Amino acid sequence: MPRMFLNGTAMAGGADHHLVGGAALVTATTTAKRYRFHAVDGAYPALEDVGPDQGAAVQGEVYELSYEQLREVLLPGEPAGLELGVIELADGSGSLAMILRRPWDGGPAPTDISDLASWRAYREQQP
């Protein structure tokens, strides 16, 4: 089964966690330190690969999802500013994840929240 790294509202306790259905949580982990982490219009997070040791270790959760769950439920619920990609996790393994669509054409520039490296921490700071 494919592994999917989630770092936003589909994580456990998030508003969109229902989109993972009964998928098994493999681990809570971070990405390798090669991603800038952005908030897009304050509504959803986005990873941007900037190269080895050039970014932050972003917090998230890895789930095993069936291709059907990915195709029919999770991916159709993702914002247009994201696209499916493959990322590197802290342990060097790979995982599917939603990444910032390039070139960016989704409106205002995303806000860099790499210093927080956590969507939950970012949301807790919002009024």
Q: Is 59 helix (H, G, I), strand (E, B) or coil?
A: strand
Those residues whose C-beta lies under 8 Å from the C-beta of residue 18, and which sit 6 or more positions away, are none
The fraction of the chain above a pLDDT of 90, given in percent, is 82
- Please write the tens of the pLDDT for every residue from 33-91: 999 999 998 899 999 999 999 999 999 999 999 999 999 999 998 988 899 999 999 99
pLDDT score recorded for residue 106: 64
pLDDT score recorded for residue 84: 96
Domains of the chain: 3-125 (3.10.490.10)
Model pTM score: 0.93
Tell me how far apart the alpha carbons of residues 25 and 12 are, in angstroms, rounded to a whole number: 9
